[in-house]
Amino acid sequence: MDSKSLIGTRNKIGQKIVDPDYLFYEAPRERYFMTGSEVVREAIRRASVDVSISYPITPQSEAAAMVGDLWVEGYVGEYFRGENEFAVMSECAGASFGGARVFTTTSGPGTLRAYENFPMWVGSRLPIMLNMMVRGVNSPLSIQPDTLEIGLIIDTGMLIWHAETAQDFFDYLLKGFIVAEEPDVHLPIAVCIDGFFVSHTKDDVYIPSADLALPTYDPYRSPVVCMDMESPPVRMMRDPFVMKSNYISYATQASWQQETRAACERSRKHTIRLIGGLIEEENSDADILIVSSGTAVAQGREAARLLAEEGIRVGIVKIKTIRPFPYEEIKQATKDARLIFVPEFNVAGWMAREIKACIPDNHRVIAGPHVAGGMTMPPEVIVEEIKKVLATQKEAVHE
Amino acid sequence: MEKYRVMPGPEAFLPPAAACVGNVLPDPGQGHVNGEIVQEDVAMEEAARQFLAAKVPTIFPGPLVLWNWNEKSAKKASAIYKLYEVLKAHNPGALLIPMPDYRPKYPKINPEIEINPNHPNLTIWHNKIDVCMFVGVHCHYANLSLKIIRGGTNCYTIAMCAQAGHEDAMLSFRDATPDSTYRLIEAVKRVKGLASSGNGASHAGTAS
């Protein structure tokens, strides 16, 4: 039975299966005040998840435990704790190979310990939903927010969305399942939030009734065979091309990788429809722009307000998807900007690199300000950076 | 950037995936020809022209229609076999070569009896196939095949897809049902009729 034919029926705990568009856009919503972890619980309650596997890495431990509560209540089909993060992601692969809708959540060092699985998920076309509550990854150990972790997964081939607020987070989790499971996409998706800033703080979130749920995942629409031990990608793993030294094997492996990248590109159309574009613009005709993702956007927005009080007009470009990256959208949005500031919660500045790579005259990009290791980014720091650069330019003109 | 046109090859040592150079899949009711989005009827007519003009028109049915795993697959299989019979009646050189599974075939595939997504070029070359259509192949493997064929052969590729279509084919339809195949059969008959009355399809211009 295909999942669309379930619309209008009730699932085993009595939720009404509804069309995703109804759940996203039409169903009445009520206001709640909740943490990011609670947002996970409420999104997964409505997501018809078959399997969730957890490991209690901080700061996502509350979310994973809350999904466990959902299993007790009957909203999630199977739930268990893996031996470690690598095991969790491998077990998620097994469940997804078997045709289940799978959710898990991780953070920081847990992400890196599990890393080998992410390109494997991609190559195997497994539409697993991974929630990453990003935090510091380097020594000395930190459990505080830091977005370096996103920069480390951007070339795995996964879809990567970065939520700014609890509301984004709720919507991206549910909509992410739909995009990731499209047969022309069918890739794992990482829905990222900034740890603590979103996971542990409370925010207003508007959510539809818990009596409603998404249609179940339909594995028969998958672009690969469901759990066939004799066919690739499973067979590839026990009889891999790496063992065959010939052009055909290399060309197949290369074409396989290209196809997964193509699938990521195909997600643009579905993503634009569901989340209203890959970027959001506010006053992007301004001379000065702040372009970033996650909570750096919120700080940038406040900085723009402070600067407006001083008569300095600054626009905002919020990047919602890191993969696929909105190259064309950013190029268009920044075409008239003289200065483009990219505040980031990491020392590497990977977002600034991405932006520099897609726009002409990329000397306009100012990579910063940067904070890391759990530091907050007061809007005043962004204001100061912008004023410093403006003052330098004024001096240069006068010289 | 100039629009990327998906044309018969041999294109390159490693051609790009069409989706990565800006080509998009058709919406419901549409198809594409060489990467240009067109109405489905237009794509059907062009597929018919390509089939009729080919020296070795070939259908590659995949596991989704080769195995009787649901009622729809059996109906699709019947429709596809009917299309093969129509092509065969027009051109005795027409072939029907299955892609029964996706296992890499070691040490060597028998290209006379099957095609494999990991090295589809071998079957194309061996049988001198100049126009082919994939149907009932899981999308990932169809795209692998289509891109490898474009990279290394001069074969014109058509993909009849039950899902969203294929940018890596030179021509593709989406949401295919048994009825879609019967409409393609009708298109073949119609174009053939026009051609024999001297009013329609050119028999020149295939890739080979």
pLDDT in tens, chain A (399 residues): 577 789 999 999 999 999 999 999 999 999 999 999 999 999 999 999 999 999 988 777 899 999 999 999 999 999 999 999 999 999 999 999 999 999 999 999 999 999 999 999 999 999 999 999 999 998 888 888 999 999 999 999 999 999 999 999 999 999 999 999 999 999 999 999 999 999 999 999 999 999 999 999 999 999 998 877 777 777 766 666 656 667 778 888 899 999 999 999 999 999 999 999 999 999 999 999 999 999 999 999 999 999 999 999 999 999 999 999 999 999 999 999 999 999 999 999 999 999 999 999 999 999 999 999 889 999 999 999 999 999 998 776 666
The domain of B117 spans 40-177
Residues 171-230 of chain A whose Cβ lies under 8 A from any Cβ of chain B:
182-184, 186, 221-225, 228, 230
Residue B39: CB atoms within 10 Å: 12
- Domain annotation covers residue B143: yes
- Domain annotation covers residue B12: no
Is B138 close to A255, i.e. CB distance below 8 A? no
What's the topology of domain A3-221?
Rossmann fold (3.40.50)
**Does the predicted TM-score (pTM) go above 0.90?**
yes
* pLDDT given for residue A1 in this prediction: 58
The count of CB pairs under 8 A between chains A and B is: 98
Average of per-residue pLDDT values in chain B: 92
Q: Which residue of A has its CA nearest to B139?
A: A223
Non-local CB neighbours of A57 within 8 Å, separated by 6+ positions: A85, A106, A107, A108, A109, A110
Residue B127: CB atoms within 10 Å: 18
Question: Touching check for A241 and chain B: CB below 8 Å?
Answer: yes
Is A259 close to B20, i.e. CB distance below 8 A? no
What is the least distance, in Å, from the CA of B122 to any CA of chain A? 10
- Domain annotation covers residue B205: no
- Rounded CA-CA distance B158/B177 in Å is 16
CATH number at residue B48: 3.40.50
Instruction: Check: CB of residue A287 under 8 Å from CB of residue A386.
Output: no
- Domain annotation covers residue B120: yes
What are the start-end ranges of the E strands in A155-218?
159-162, 189-194, 202-208, 212-213
- Domain annotation covers residue B65: yes
Q: Residues B12-33: what's their mean pLDDT?
A: 96
Of B24, B121, B141, the CB nearest to A269: B24
* pLDDT given for residue B202 in this prediction: 45
- Domain annotation covers residue B185: no
- Domain annotation covers residue B115: yes
Of A235, A252, A266, the CB nearest to B19: A266
Of B118, B122, B163, the CB nearest to A184: B163
Residue B13: CB atoms within 10 Å: 10
- Rounded CA-CA distance B15/A182 in Å is 25
| CATH 3.40.50.970 domain position(s) in chain A | 3-221
Alpha carbon A145 to chain centroid, angstroms? 15
What is the tally of structural domains in chain B?
A: 1
Mutation for A interface: B1, B25, B118, most A CBs within 10 A: B118
- Domain annotation covers residue B188: no
Which ipTM was obtained for this model? 0.92
All residues of chain A having their beta carbon less than 8 Å from the beta carbon of residue B25 are 184, 266, 269
What is the least distance, in Å, from the CA of B141 to any CA of chain A? 7
Paired residues of A104 in beta bridges: A130
* pLDDT given for residue B188 in this prediction: 97
Is B14 close to A251, i.e. CB distance below 8 A? yes
**CA-based torsion, A368, A372, A378, A384: positive or negative:** negative
Report the range of poorest mean pLDDT among A65-74, B1-10, B35-44, B194-203.
B194-203
All residues of chain A having their beta carbon less than 8 Å from the beta carbon of residue B165 are 184
| CATH 3.40.50.920 domain position(s) in chain A | 279-398
pLDDT-derived band at B206, boundaries 50, 70, 90: very low
Nearest to A53 by CA among A122, A128, A126, A134: A128
Q: Which residue of A has its CA nearest to B1?
A: A328
* pLDDT given for residue A242 in this prediction: 56
Q: Which CATH architecture has domain A279-398?
A: 3-Layer(aba) Sandwich (3.40)
Of A228, A244, A261, the CB nearest to B17: A261
Q: Is the pLDDT confidence value at B156 over 60?
A: yes
